[in-house]
Amino acid sequence: QSALAQPASVSGSPGQSITISCSGSSNDVGSYNLVSWYQQHPGKAPKLMIFEDSRRPSGVSNRFSGSKSGNTASLTISGLQAEDGADYYCSSFAGSSVLFGGGTKLTVL
């Protein structure tokens, strides 16, 4: 199974909003409401930001939101802050496995 497709990089200025896309197929993203998003700072373990397409774990800022349309999921970060600069990964249940995207590096200008 192929990995999910994410842009390699995105950037934005403080206060702006950015969106990271995650493209899959009808066998994964499009079939299950089980897309997750992770934030990872260098040298650290990933942190869950969104699960089940759009739900936020307790303690995650409401500046982070998830959505999905068809086979493509999206993570939107509003009111960008310097500490949002990190790598972001999407993942999706795919029937009997879990697929990850290649990751997107977010640069806060």
Partner 1 sequence: QVQLVQSGTEEKKPGASVKVSCKASGYTFTGYYIHWLRQAPGQGLEWMGWINPNSGDTNYAQKFQGRIAVTRDTSRRTAYMELSRLMSDDAAVYYCARDGFSSSSGDYWGQGTLVTVSS
Q: Is 75 in the site for partner 1 (CB under 8 A)?
A: no
Going 59 to 11 to 71 to 40, the CA torsion angle's sign is negative
Binding test (CB under 8 A) with partner 1, winner from 46, 64, 67, 76 = 46
Binding mask 47-66 for partner 1 (x = CB under 8 A): xx--xx--x-x---------
Q: Which residues contact 54 (CB under 8 A, 6 or more apart)?
A: 65, 66, 67, 68
Q: Which is nearer to partner 1, 18 or 99 (CB)?
A: 99
| Tokens 């307790």, residue located | 58
Q: Is 26 in the site for partner 1 (CB under 8 A)?
A: no
